[in-house]
Amino acid sequence: MIACDQHDFIEIACMYHLRVVLKLKTGDEVIGIAQDTILNDEREECIKVLKDNQTYEAIMLSHISTMRAVTSNPHFDFVNFD
C-alpha cells in the first residue's frame, strides 16, 4: 500500500496519460504511458501501462520505488515511493 498523497501522483499520470519511467524495487524499469489503475486477480492495486503502443502491463503499486514523468507537465517530475 502506498500513501494517499503518493497515490494522487499515480492518478494524475493516468488521467493525463503521461509517459513515465517506473523504477521497481527490484531495480527493473518500466517505461510507458500511464493508462489507469486496476485491481489484479489478487485484488492488489496496480497501474496499467501501455508499452510500445501495443502491450499493456499491470504493475503493482507496492512494487514501485520511483516514478519519473517523461512527458512535461505542471504536476510532477519525480516521485519517490520508498
For the segment 55-76, what is each residue's pLDDT rounded down to a tens digit? 898 999 999 999 999 999 999 9
- In DSSP terms, which residues pair with 68 in a beta bridge? 21, 78
Over its C-alpha atoms, the chain yields an Rg (Å, rounded) of: 11
Going by DSSP bridges, is the β-strand pair 29-39/78-80 parallel, antiparallel, or unpaired? Answer: unpaired
Domain 4-72 fold:
SH3 type barrels. (2.30.30)
pLDDT the model gives residue 55: 87
Q: Are 58 and 48 in contact (CB under 8 A)?
A: yes
pTM for this predicted structure: 0.93
pLDDT by residue (tens digit) across 7-36? Answer: 999 999 999 999 999 999 999 999 999 999
Segments making up each domain of the chain, as ranges: 4-72
Distances (CA, A) of 52 to 26, 42, 56, 57: 22, 26, 9, 11
Residue 9: which H helix or E strand, with range?
helix 4-15
Whether the per-residue pLDDT at 50 is higher than 90: the answer is yes
pLDDT > 80? residue 1: no
Average pLDDT value for the chain: 95
